[in-house]
């Protein structure tokens, strides 16, 4: 599963790079690519969502260890547990807000202005990522993994 996520996220990032490169070349030779910004935004959303899920899965989010590295025993365990709880709550809040927004705008059939990228599909991808991060963080909280 990890390999599929890495390849999919990498392909989305490469697609964003290729689209933007072609757009820059097109602008400089007098043949701009219309809607390139919208396409890059969609590719970055996919890549960023996958990166967020992978970082959560492997405990790779940035942390400030200035205080926790100086502690031992129970205080260190309590702070680590509190950090995992805060991460879980953050992802849950992001998921709830994003799902609420998507549900509210679902019948709007929104599309981007130039190319017509369907925002509802991108919202589904973001929502799936936030829900996955919430479940992964919750599992880490219950399991007590200290990464």
Burial grade of 109 (CB within 10 A; 0-12, 13-18, 19 or more): exposed
Proportion of the chain above pLDDT 70, given as a percent = 98
Q: For residues 2 and 54, is the Cβ–Cβ distance under 8 A? A: yes
At 30-51, the pLDDT tens digits run: 999 999 999 999 999 999 999 9
pLDDT of residue 2 exceeding 90, the answer is no
Task: Give me the pLDDT at residue 145, please.
Answer: 57
d(CA 15, CA 13): 5
Summarize the confidence of residues 41-66 as an average pLDDT: 89
At 76-111, the pLDDT tens digits run: 888 888 888 999 999 999 999 999 999 999 888 889
pLDDT confidence of 146, banded at 50, 70, 90?
low
Residue spans of the domains in the chain: they are 2-143
Greatest alpha-carbon pair distance for the chain in Å reads 65
Task: Give me the pLDDT at residue 71, please.
Answer: 84
Helical H segments across 29-64, by residue range: 36-57
Q: 3-class DSSP state for residue 90? A: helix
Residues 6+ apart with CB under 8 A from 13: 43, 44, 47
pLDDT of residue 135 exceeding 70, the answer is yes
Calculate the alpha carbon distances from 122 to 45, 67, 94, 133 in Å: 7, 39, 15, 17
pTM of the model: 0.85
Task: Give me the pLDDT at residue 60, please.
Answer: 82
Proportion of the chain above pLDDT 90, given as a percent = 67
Q: For residues 34 and 83, is the Cβ–Cβ distance under 8 A? A: no
């Amino acid at each position: 599963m990890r390999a599929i996520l890495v390849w999919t996220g990498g392909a989305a990032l490469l697609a964003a790079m290729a689209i933007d490169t072609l757009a820059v070349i097109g602008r400089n030779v007098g043949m701009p690519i219309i809607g390139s910004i919208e396409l890059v935004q969609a590719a970055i959303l996919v890549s960023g969502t996958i990166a967020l899920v992978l970082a959560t899965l492997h405990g790779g989010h940035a942390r400030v260890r200035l205080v926790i590295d100086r502690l031992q025993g129970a205080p260190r365990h309590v702070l680590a547990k509190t950090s995992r709880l805060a991460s879980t709550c953050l992802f849950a809040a992001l998921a709830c807000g994003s799902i609420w927004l998507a549900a509210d705008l679902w019948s709007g059939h929104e599309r981007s202005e130039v190319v017509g990228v369907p925002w509802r599909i991108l919202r589904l991808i973001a929502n799936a990522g936030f829900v996955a991060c919430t479940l992964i963080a919750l599992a880490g909280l219950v399991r007590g993994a200290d990464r």
